[in-house]
Amino acid sequence: MIAPNGTSDSPQAPGLPDPETVLREADWESLWHSQGSAVAIPDALRALLDADPAVQARVMDEDLAPLRLETFIYPAAVPAAQYMAAILPDPRIAAIGVYRHAVDEYRQHPLRAMLLIWLGYLLSHTDDNVKAREEFGGNPSPDEETLFALRPAFYQQVAAFLHDDEHEVRYAALFAAIPLAEAPGLTRHQTELAGCARRLLATEEDTYRRVRVLNGLMAWGHDTAGLETDDDRRLRTLLNSITTEPSF
């Protein structure tokens, strides 16, 4: 909960600042997102720890939506990612709420899974952006460099949920861990993650989730021929031709 003095009683994450320290030390007045100034983001992030799952869902679906963009990393997304990663162990994040899945479609998910998916997308887009820029001799932006430097700390937080009791949390943790394991110091975890991926594919029926995991395996050089279904192959072809897909 948020203590009377305005601080969070979330346990401090190894390698990451205390969540409230992240909010206090970031220069929110100079940070921005798709709608301009990010001065309202700290209050939105604090509300993720609200006792009401409806409030948590509104924050993820609406208040933090300006931080999301596939082709650009907004400066305000960097401290937001640190805060989200830091609060992952907090028991209040296990609350189940109703979240936007796609246009006019809502589904129930644990907030912890939603945070992991948010981090996974941010990290995947960061990795893709940097690789694309390097092809033309460019360098990572300062925000991308910061996120890259945080990958070991992020991985430690994410990996704690690879064997969670909740299937959705296990999938979301794997989704976030796959781009993190591309980091030079974290590639040693790819073998463990490949095992997690194969176990998930043995029971996972959602084709979107299956394709995301299969893409990770293929990127690491694994033979997925015996793991793929015809639906998996059809969806991969479709996704290669569009730019948006359901967030979960």
Per residue in 140-167, pLDDT (tens digit) is 999 999 999 999 999 999 999 999 999 9
Torsion angle in degrees (nearest 10) through CA of 233, 236, 238, 242: 180
**CA pseudo-torsion sign 156, 160, 162, 168:** negative
d(CA 126, CA 148): 8
Residue in the structure block whose two tokens are 């990996």: 159
Question: Residue 246: what pLDDT?
Answer: 54
Per residue in 25-66, pLDDT (tens digit) is 999 999 999 999 999 999 999 999 999 999 999 999 999 999
Q: 6 or 239, which is more confident?
A: 239
Question: Residue 6: what pLDDT?
Answer: 40
- The 8-class DSSP code of residue 33 comes to E
DSSP-based three-state secondary structure for 109: strand
d(CA 94, CA 244): 27
Q: Find out whether 150 and 93 touch, Cβ atoms under 8 Å.
A: no
User: From the centroid of its chain, how far is CA 224?
Assistant: 24
pTM over 0.85: yes
d(CA 3, CA 33): 28
Q: Give me the amino acid identity at 89.
A: P
Rounded to the nearest 5°, which phi and psi values hold at 144?
Answer: -65, -40
d(CA 125, CA 231): 25
* pLDDT-based confidence at residue 1 (cuts at 50, 70, 90): very low
- Contacts with 115 (C-beta within 8 Å, 6 or more apart), sequence order: 48, 60, 84, 85, 87, 88, 93
Q: 207 or 71, which is more confident?
A: 207
d(CA 22, CA 15): 12
* pLDDT-based confidence at residue 7 (cuts at 50, 70, 90): very low
- Contacts with 207 (C-beta within 8 Å, 6 or more apart), sequence order: 229, 231, 232, 235
